[in-house]
Amino acid sequence: MPKLLLLPGDGIGPEVCAEVRRVAAALTPDIEVTEAIYGGASYDAHGTPLTDEVLAMALSADAVLLGAVGGPQWANAPRALRPEAGLLKLRVEMGVFANLRPALCFDALADASSLKREVVAGLDIMIVRELTGGVYFGQPRGIETLPDGQKRGFDTQVYTTSEIERVARVAFELARGRRNHVTSAEKSNVMESGVLWREVVTELHARDYADVTLEHMLADNAAMQLVRRPTQFDVLVTDNLFGDILSDAASQATGSLGMLPSAALGIKGKPGLYEPIHGSAPDIAGKGVANPLAAILSFEMALRWSFGRGDIADRLFAAVTRALDGGARTGDLGGTMTTVAMGNAVLAELG
Ligand code: NAD
Ligand code: IPM
Ligand code: MN
């Protein structure tokens, strides 16, 4: 039986994952869903956000779906043991270097965006975020005390040729199945890693993907262009940190951060990691009002990319579209529905 490991995590994570469970039970009863403790919840229970047992479960599943981790109650935990550290470790151990974050504006939601309808109508961007390198992992990093008593905090941004090339390749391949355009964003005007990034992407393009149009854009300009005219983007490939920031910005153009799913992929045949791009949302956690669609659409991506069930993924995507067409809206989309009611709306459309 194909296996999905659910790691609900903290805050709204368990609330949105409960809706994924219901959808999975209705749609794919033949996929075995197992749940395990992770994040702050695991830190509280076991003193670590990711136990070896749960990591082993993740590596032997066909796909892993995360809710979210973190929250103010763990702000003072040792940095290496904070919930977010468990997430980063999971990404690295699973080797999922390419994070696909589709920012898609459902037609029914064009008026839910904080941008004008005419700016976001038809918006369909595939953000490809490098996920296992860059400043998130570069060494050295730390906080040290200087002789004068001041402190100095430092991080290192670092990319190798192969790290850039493999994620750029994913972007070019995806573009071929879409509108054949890749925008690569970096800061080659100020960063050495940005210079290398641009060089490697340019060379790979010339060598293997000359049929795809390639545009280089400085990351700050990319942020501006995402709110000016987001429909100019097809595939947007960028590093770990810029990808984190640009995808949150793009999400709001689609209506809400609560709408954006993601798929993190690495080596063929290895499990994929699926997660909404939003966090644990401490401000609304426990109220039952979080939008579960980013999590449900992450399951849709898992069906497509890990379970080879594109047909069932299409059905789920169509059900979400119809639920939104029918007016289903959680608070972030300007409505009043609870998390469970949104789950019900999708289930009703699945029939
Ligand atoms: P956040 O994404 O949790 O929330 C930002 C804002 O968006 C909040 O107002 C929140 O209520 C709203 N929001 C997010 N998801 C929503 C949803 N599904 N429905 C409705 N509204 C939603 O970001 P934050 O507040 O900066 O971070 C909170 C915690 O989450 C931090 O500890 C952070 O490290 C963590 N975090 C975890 C992940 C992850 O697990 N993948 C991602 C981002 C942030
Ligand atoms: C995300 C989150 C994470 C990141 C944090 C929680 C480590 O913001 O998945 O977008 O920065 O990658
Ligand atoms: Mn983020």
The verdict on whether omega for the bond into residue 102 sits within 30 degrees of 0, i.e. cis, is no
- For residue 175, give the nearest of 125, 248, 231 by alpha carbon: 125
Asked if this assembly's ipTM is beyond 0.95, the reply is yes
Sign of the C-alpha dihedral, residues 186, 191, 193, 195?
positive
- What residues are paired with 99 via a beta bridge? 129, 264
CATH of domain 102-257: 3.40.718.10
Domain 1-97+266-351 belongs to what architecture? 3-Layer(aba) Sandwich (3.40)
Using CA atoms, how far residue 15 sits from 83, 147, 294, in Å, is: 17, 49, 12
The reply to whether domains 1-97+266-351 and 102-257 share a CATH topology is yes
- For residue 188, give the nearest of 160, 149, 217 by alpha carbon: 217
pLDDT, position 268: 86
Query: Could you report the per-residue pLDDT of 1-57, keeping only the tens digit for each?
Result: 999 999 999 999 999 999 999 999 999 999 999 999 999 999 999 999 999 999 999
User: Ligand 2, residues 50, 69, 81, 88: which to mutate, most atoms within 8 A of Cβ?
Assistant: 88
Query: Could you report the per-residue pLDDT of 75-133, keeping only the tens digit for each?
Result: 999 999 999 999 999 999 999 999 999 999 999 999 999 999 999 999 999 999 999 99
**Closest residue to atom 12 of ligand 2, CA basis:** 244
275 is in an annotated binding site: no
Active site residue 44: no
Report if pTM > 0.95: yes
> DSSP per residue over 101-141, as a string?
EEEE--GGGTTTSSS-HHHHTT-EEEEEEE-SSGGGT-SS-
Instruction: Break the chain into its structural domains and give their ranges.
Output: 1-97+266-351, 102-257
